[in-house]
């Protein structure tokens, strides 16, 4: 295991407002790190800087040792950084199966030999069902994505990110807008991804029980600054974190 993602003094200003302020972190490969902090702390802005939607005013982002600060979002995706975009990445008029198959196919090479083509097709189909199974959507394979419940759409989006062989998953509040019944299912999906052991996950989440249950480490942002970064038990005990949260509320 080593560091897969690193930020050095990452900073972004909107006019006079410093939304992310001098944040230096390291994320270990195959770990799950959560980002918590009160509303407006800079969590989503920090994700924008990692995925390339925003360029920093100052500081650098490194992925697997390579400086990616100036790369576009598309190039970062190709390198293995995938972000869930609150279901805007799915094709509503295709079935769940077709959505995931598109992602699987985009990672496969196509051969123009009839026999290998048939074999390849079966392999793509097998992989597609595997991803649907992992996100607990195999029973919905034939259903149009547009007809899914909100939580199911989020799971479909995660399946597509996994099928794209994303090494680093950026999940921004995966339970946002979900019904109470849907939340445990997304929790189960993230646990399954962790159990597979070959992805790194950065998770923004307000549900603190879920964060404590899932995280190897937690970083806390407050007014754009990194207030704490450590194991869940250290974060819970941290007095600055406690007062920031209580003060923030």
Ligand X SMILES: Nc1ncnc2c1ncn2[C@@H]1O[C@H](COP(=O)(O)OP(=O)(O)OP(=O)(O)O)[C@@H](O)[C@H]1O
Residues within the interface to ligand X (CB under 6 A): 14, 17, 19, 37, 39-45
Indicate the residue among 184 and 248 with the shorter CB distance to ligand X.
248
Distance, in Å, from the CA atom of 87 to the CA atom of 68, rounded to the nearest integer, reads: 25
Q: What is the DSSP string of 8-52?
A: EEEEEEETTEEEEEEEEEEEETT-EEEEE-STTSSHHHHHHHHHT
Distance, in Å, from the CA atom of 186 to the CA atom of 196, rounded to the nearest integer, reads: 16
Closest separation between CB of residue 84 and ligand X, Å?
14
Indicate the residue among 17 and 231 with the shorter CB distance to ligand X.
17
Closest separation between CB of residue 18 and ligand X, Å?
9
Closest separation between CB of residue 166 and ligand X, Å?
21
Indicate the residue among 19 and 159 with the shorter CB distance to ligand X.
19
Indicate the residue among 82 and 224 with the shorter CB distance to ligand X.
224
Question: Is-contact 227 37, C-beta < 8 A?
Answer: yes
Distance, in Å, from the CA atom of 232 to the CA atom of 171, rounded to the nearest integer, reads: 18
Closest separation between CB of residue 46 and ligand X, Å?
7
Residue 122 DSSP class: H
């Amino acid at each position: 295991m080593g560091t897969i993602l690193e930020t050095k003094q990452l900073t972004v200003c909107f006019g006079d407002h410093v939304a992310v302020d001098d944040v230096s972190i390291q994320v270990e490969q195959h770990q799950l790190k959560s980002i918590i902090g009160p509303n407006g702390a800079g969590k989503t802005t920090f994700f924008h800087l990692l995925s390339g939607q925003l360029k920093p005013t100052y500081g650098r982002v490194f992925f697997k040792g390579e400086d990616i600060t100036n790369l576009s979002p598309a190039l970062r995706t190709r390198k293995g950084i995938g972000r869930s975009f609150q279901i805007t990445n799915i094709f509503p008029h295709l079935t769940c199966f077709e959505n995931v198959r598109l992602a699987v196919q985009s990672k496969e090479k196509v051969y123009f030999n009839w026999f290998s083509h048939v074999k390849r097709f079966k392999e793509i189909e097998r992989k597609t069902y595997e991803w649907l199974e992992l996100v607990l959507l195999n029973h919905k394979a034939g259903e149009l994505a547009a007809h899914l419940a909100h939580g199911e759409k989020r799971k479909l989006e995660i399946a597509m990110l996994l099928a794209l062989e994303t090494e680093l998953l950026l999940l921004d509040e995966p339970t946002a807008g979900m019904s109470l019944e849907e939340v445990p299912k997304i929790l189960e999906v993230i646990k399954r991804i962790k159990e597979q052991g070959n992805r790194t996950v950065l998770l923004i989440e307000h549900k603190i029980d879920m964060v404590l249950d899932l995280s190897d480490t937690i970083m806390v942002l407050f007014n754009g600054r990194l207030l704490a970064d450590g194991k869940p038990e250290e974060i819970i005990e941290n007095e600055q974190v406690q007062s920031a949260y209580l003060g923030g509320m």
